[in-house]
Amino acid sequence: MKRLLILHLVLNMAFSADAQTSLAGDYYLQGVHEVASAFRLKPDSTFEFFFSYGALDRTGTGRWSVAGGRIVFQSRPWPGSDFRLLGTDTEVPDGNGGGTGNGSGSGNSKSASQKTDNKKAPPVIIVKVEEKNTMILPFIDCYLKKGNEAVEGKMRQDGMAVFPAEKYASGLPDSLILQFRFCPERYSRFAITDPKITLYRFSIETWMPEYFFTGFSLLPLADGSALEGGHPLLEGQAFTWVREKEQ
């Protein structure tokens, strides 16, 4: 009986390995206007994913397996935040003293024209994202949150979002939320605990454009010519990914 069980396990492992080898290849999304997207399934059970729409490019990597007749994609866990807190300051950068947010503002910690005191909330809260590629900065959404209430601050081309005190009149917010608009599946949260802090400085993590797969799956056709199912970044479940023919 034990020999039969071992033989059964060996045959199943061999079948699974053969299935993954036969499914390896490049699969390209079909029929979606202005979108380029593909999966590359490698024989070693790793995969690469890309998505391109206009100026937006996203990628993904991980391991793929066959379960229940479907190809299942799994990435490493998302590290938990797309932004890194570089530092804070209790002084307001020049040109950002709680006005409407139209000043140029450098974001550096200089002698400020306005200082905070130890009241329940600072007179202004400024979020600064430092990034060489300034084209993406206006697409970073920034919110201050207190309980179930949230207020949005507009991120400028210089990476500044300015929240005058009237935006959080109910008191010190409990958290700061940052989200890249083209990664709507996740956001980064930072706690606010010190009422003296007016400036929060951030950088962008290198993995921000990456998509992290958690059990997404596609159905391979019986002849191995295509995959069918959804798309990790597009709505709907009727997409076809056609396998590129080997040269």
pLDDT tens column, 27-43 = 999 999 999 999 999 99
For all residues of the chain together, what is the average pLDDT? Answer: 86
Give whole-number Cα distances, 167 to 127, 164, 171, 192, 197, in Å. 14, 6, 10, 15, 16
Q: Residue 191 has which token pair?
A: 């706690």
Q: How far apart are CA 126 and CA 93, in angstroms?
A: 9
Element (H, E) at 199: strand 199-204
Q: How far apart are CA 204 and CA 220, in angstroms?
A: 37
Residues 6+ apart with CB under 8 A from 41: 20, 23, 24, 25, 26, 27, 47, 64, 71
Report the sign of the C-alpha dihedral through residues 119, 193, 124, 130, in that order: positive
Chain segment 53-63, per-residue pLDDT in tens: 988 999 999 99
Domain residue limits, the chain: 2-75+213-243, 83-204
Q: How far apart are CA 70 and CA 229, in angstroms?
A: 10
- Higher-confidence position of 193 and 92: 193
Q: How far apart are CA 180 and CA 81, in angstroms?
A: 11
Report the amino acid identity of residue 230.
G
Percent of the chain with pLDDT over 70: 81
DSSP state letter for 158: T
Burial pattern 186-215, b for ≥16 Cβ within 10 A else e, equals eebeeebeebebbbbbbebeeebbbbbbee
pLDDT band at 19 (very low <50, low <70, confident <90, very high): low
Question: Tell me, what's the pLDDT at 30?
Answer: 97
167, exposed or middle or buried, with CB in 10 Å at 0-12, 13-18, 19+? middle
pLDDT band at 247 (very low <50, low <70, confident <90, very high): low
CATH fold label, 83-204: Immunoglobulin-like (2.60.40)
Is-contact 211 49, C-beta < 8 A?
yes
**Whether the predicted pLDDT of 16 surpasses 60:** no
* CATH architecture, domain defined by 2-75+213-243: Beta Barrel (2.40)
pLDDT band at 180 (very low <50, low <70, confident <90, very high): very high
Q: Residue 221 has which token pair?
A: 């056709």
Question: Tell me, what's the pLDDT at 116?
Answer: 39
**Whether the predicted pLDDT of 242 surpasses 60:** yes
- pTM here is 0.80
